[in-house]
Amino acid sequence: MTRATVFVDGANLYRGLKSIGVRAARLDIRRFSWKLVRGRELRDVRYYIARVDRSGGRAYEANRALIAALEATSGVTLRLGYIQRTEEKNPCAEELARYLANLRSLRIPGRVFRDLAAMAREHRRVTVFREKGVDVALAVDLVRLAHADAFDVAYLVSGDGDFAPAVESVRVLRKKVFAAGPAIGKRLHDAADLSIRLAKDWFEDCLSSSGTSSAET
């Protein structure tokens, strides 16, 4: 029987489910994986997400519940990254400042001009939260396990084109990679052996009736 391993990009899956109106907290990841591999031998389900720290508020509580659910789910290997907080330039504020500085023919009320200029200054930098150590871990594991002959087919639950080089490396080893999810970018679609686009109704029998499951980040 063909051996299959499911690699789940948790954040990407969450965004994809949200985009099609599926409540991620209800997704039963084991039921989802069994349906996805369709009769192949399911060797492993590997789930990759970042751990949110306490400053994340409600996101922290949801993330903690998700991690607990995944850890309690038999047959799921959990790989954790982290969230990095950084301050970055705000391109929208910079564009507004340039626009105001270059006004020539258009006259606007002085108060409006001052308010817009103050807004551009106040928001010139924004706080950005980025997931770290997740995509790299998934890509490395995908290639490493292919070299170890741990699977015949990898189901990559993501639409992220950044995985394309890892997918191509796996295929060189004569392993198949199927990309799956609600949305799959062109770069990943072109790199994979097959793209499986999952519509909202596909998930109906993969949802639990209530409670925290194993898809939300």
What is the residue range of 157's domain?
3-82+131-206
pLDDT classification of 216: cutoffs 50, 70, 90: very low
Q: Tell me, yes or no, whether 142 lies in a domain.
A: yes
- Shared-domain flag, residues 123 and 135: no
pTM exceeds cut of 0.75: yes
Total number of domains in the chain:
2
- Shared-domain flag, residues 94 and 193: no
- Shared-domain flag, residues 111 and 160: no
**Cα distance between residue 114 and residue 129, in whole Å:** 30
- Shared-domain flag, residues 13 and 106: no
Final residue in a domain of this structure, among 100, 127, 154: 127
pLDDT for residue 56: 65
Tokens of 15: 């965004």
Q: Tell me, yes or no, whether 173 lies in a domain.
A: yes
- Shared-domain flag, residues 118 and 136: no
pLDDT at 206 over 90: yes
Q: For 204-208, which contacts have Cβ atoms below 8 Å and span 24 or more sequence positions? A: 205/31, 205/35, 206/27, 206/28, 206/31, 206/32, 206/35, 207/22, 207/23, 207/26, 207/27, 207/28, 208/26, 208/27, 208/28
Q: CA angle, 85 as apex, 84 and 86 as ends, to 5°?
A: 115
Top-confidence residue, 134 or 213: 134
**Single-letter code of the amino acid located at 163:** F
Residue 32: give its domain's CATH number. Answer: 3.40.50.1010
Top-confidence residue, 48 or 101: 48
Condensed to tens digits (0 to 9), the pLDDT of residues 8-58 reads 999 999 999 999 999 988 999 999 999 999 989 999 999 999 988 877 677
Q: Tell me, yes or no, whether 180 lies in a domain.
A: yes
Condensed to tens digits (0 to 9), the pLDDT of residues 137-146 reads 999 999 999 9
- Shared-domain flag, residues 201 and 97: no
- Shared-domain flag, residues 99 and 36: no
- Shared-domain flag, residues 10 and 110: no
- Shared-domain flag, residues 74 and 95: no
pLDDT classification of 211: cutoffs 50, 70, 90: low
- Shared-domain flag, residues 192 and 94: no
Condensed to tens digits (0 to 9), the pLDDT of residues 152-178 reads 999 999 999 999 999 999 999 999 999
pLDDT for residue 217: 43
